Amino acid sequence: MSKRAVKRTCENRTTIAYYSGFGGLEIKHIEFGIEDYIYLVAGAWSGKRTYHRLKLHYGTKNCYVRFRGCRYKLSDFIRA
């Protein structure tokens, strides 16, 4: 998937959940399939917004995404 398609998907969707790290993370869309992906906007509350498509990982007790070397549990996000 191209960067332009990821940006278009993030801009056309409403926010599902928020996280207050990295200047604000917003989950815009969850793509379900054989492998699940999350469309995420980083820097949502700061000046520069970046758009990402991240793989959703499932652990034994929770699910998480990896972003810039850190794990973020979906249970830490606040639903909109």
Domain locations along the chain:
3-79
Tokens of 55: 């793989």
- Mean pLDDT within 58-71: 90
> For residue 24, what pLDDT is reported?
87
The string of pLDDT tens digits covering residues 12-53 is 999 999 998 778 899 999 999 999 999 999 988 887 889 999
Q: Distance (Å, rounded) from C-alpha 77 to C-alpha 80?
A: 9
Can you tell me whether residue 68 is helix, strand or coil? coil
Where does residue 50 fall: left (phi above 0), alpha (psi -120 to 50 degrees), or beta otherwise?
Answer: beta
Tokens of 3: 């960067």
pTM of the full structure: 0.86
Q: Distance (Å, rounded) from C-alpha 33 to C-alpha 12?
A: 21
